[in-house]
Structure 1
Amino acid sequence: MAKDILLMDGDCGLCSKLANFLHPRLNKKNSIKFLSNSSEEGKLIISKLPKSQQVVDTVYLVRNGKCYIKSAAAIRCLIYMKWHYKILFPIAWIWPLPLRNIIYAIIAKYRHKFFKRPAYCIFPDLN
């Protein structure tokens, strides 16, 4: 069974912290493959997506062959987590997509300001 793929910015401190938070809390180990969206494999996956989804500098989740981006990808990560995190999914999903993406855009804009860039991409270590 192929793993679902989570593509994030490998040079982002917030993305690294989120991956470090998510990885030990996964419901099933190795259910997600973490990739940097600037890696060769990440670029190849993104290039195969429809042009409307080829957004620079965002998070992607490829789940069962379907791609989710921005807040939809971030919130869907809850599905992979243990039950006490998983119950937050319907609460987060009920918010309207435009509002979720506005909040996502604000966080994305200031993430480098508040989170130090990692010395290296940690994603290969998590797979």
Structure 2
Amino acid sequence: MADILLIDAHCVLCNRFGSFLTKRLSKRGGLRIYGIDSEQGVTVVGGLPESLKEIDSMYLIRAGHPFVRSAASIRLLLYMRWYYAMWYPFAWLFPLPLRDGIYRLVSRYRHRLFGE
């Protein structure tokens, strides 16, 4: 089973990020991108633990394990070409509260800043 990334398909920033990511995926692939509100997205979110279902975030399901917020973003580097993937170990050097704080700030204002 391929790994899955769920994004907000109604968000301009999320769609641009999905396009950016798609163009830079490594040849080995293995990542499928769906909207959270799509049929596949609803099915995947329905199978998540209750604590994760209400989070306003992107979801990365990697090897059957769900990741959200900055943890999902950093793990996406592993699907990209080598010159992006090489930054994976360094991205973890930023403390979790700082990473997730920035993620939540952008997430909260994304529709206002980038449009619907």
- Give TM-score, length-normalised by structure 2: 0.92
- Aligned-pair identity in percent equals 41
Q: Which residue of 1 is the match for residue 93 of structure 2? A: 94
Report how many aligned residue pairs link the two structures: 116
Instruction: State the 1:56 CA deviation.
Output: 3.6
Instruction: Determine the C-alpha separation between the residues in 1 that align with 2:90 and 2:111.
Output: 28
Q: Which residue of 2 is the match for residue 106 of structure 1? A: 105
Contact 2:29-2:79 at 8 Å conserved across structures: no
Q: Which one-letter code corresponds to 2:33 in the other structure?
A: F
Q: Which residue of 1 is the match for residue 13 of structure 2? A: 14
Q: Which runs of 5 or more structure 2 residues have no equivalent in the other structure?
A: none
Q: Which residue of 2 is the match for residue 38 of structure 1? A: 37
Instruction: Determine the C-alpha separation between the residues in 1 that align with 2:11 and 2:73.
Output: 15
**Bigger relative CO (Cα 8 Å, ≥ 6 apart):** 1
Do structure 1's residue 61 and structure 2's residue 42 form an aligned pair? no
Q: Which residue of 2 is the match for residue 5 of structure 1? A: 4
RMSD of the TM alignment (CA)? 1.3
Instruction: Determine the C-alpha separation between the residues in 2 that align with 1:92 and 1:77.
Output: 11
Instruction: Determine the C-alpha separation between the residues in 2 that align with 1:85 and 1:104.
Output: 19
Instruction: State the 1:61 CA deviation.
Output: 0.3
Q: Which one-letter code corresponds to 2:17 in the other structure?
A: L
Stretch moving more, 22-31 or 97-106: 22-31
Instruction: State the 1:30 CA deviation.
Output: 4.3
Post-superposition Cα deviations, 1:96-119, rounded to whole Å, max 9, x if no partner, equal 2222111100010111112133xx
